[in-house]
Amino acid sequence: METILMLPTNSMYTIQLPEEYRQYYPLFYDLMRMFMIQLVVNLLYFLSNPKGYKFLNATFMKTLLFIIVGISSYWLVVRKIVGFK
Total-model pTM: 0.73
pLDDT per residue as tens, the chain (85 positions): 455 556 666 778 887 778 887 788 888 889 999 999 999 999 999 999 999 999 999 999 999 999 999 999 988 888 888 877 7
**CA separation, residue 72 to residues 8, 12, 53, 68, 75 (Å):** 22, 25, 28, 6, 5
User: For residue 1, what pLDDT is reported?
Assistant: 44
CA-nearest of 42, 32, 33 to 63 is: 42
How far is C-alpha 1 from the geometric centre of its chain's CA atoms? Answer: 25
- Where are the domains positioned within the chain? 23-81
**CA separation, residue 30 to residues 13, 40, 55, 85 (Å):** 17, 15, 23, 23
Mapping DSSP to helix (H, G, I), strand (E, B) and coil, where does residue 19 land? Answer: helix
